[in-house]
């Protein structure tokens, strides 16, 4: 899993596990960085994945 998983606060563990298991959060270089501030780009990526996984939008890339 992630090298810094022990840094996730107890109250957030279930939510983090859910989001990782459902591909909403993937981390970077084996790290979640749970104590860092999320960037706008990271937030937008999570929202996009949430909408895609929920079937609310369908974005297809063109070859």
Do the domain assignments include residue 59? no
Do the domain assignments include residue 58? no
Q: Is 32 exposed, middle or buried (0-12, 13-18, 19+ CB in 10 A)?
A: buried
Q: In the prediction, which pLDDT does 59 show?
A: 83
**Domain encompassing residue 20:** 5-53
Do the domain assignments include residue 62? no
Q: In the prediction, which pLDDT does 60 show?
A: 78
Domain count, the chain: 1
Q: In the prediction, which pLDDT does 62 show?
A: 59
Do the domain assignments include residue 39? yes
Q: Please state the length of the chain.
A: 63
Yes or no: say if 48 and 54 are a contact pair by the CB < 8 Å rule.
no
Do the domain assignments include residue 63? no
Q: In the prediction, which pLDDT does 1 show?
A: 74
**In the block, which residue shows the tokens 């780009």?**
41
10-residue mean pLDDT profile of the chain (63 residues): values are 93 96 94 96 95 88 63
Q: In the prediction, which pLDDT does 34 show?
A: 95
């Amino acid at each position: 899993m992630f090298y810094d998983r022990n840094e996730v606060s107890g109250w957030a563990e279930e939510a983090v596990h859910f989001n990782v298991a459902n591909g909403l959060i993937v981390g970077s270089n084996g790290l979640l960085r749970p104590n860092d501030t999320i960037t706008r780009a990271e937030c937008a990526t999570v929202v996009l994945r949430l909408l895609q996984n929920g079937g609310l939008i369908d974005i297809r890339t063109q070859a």
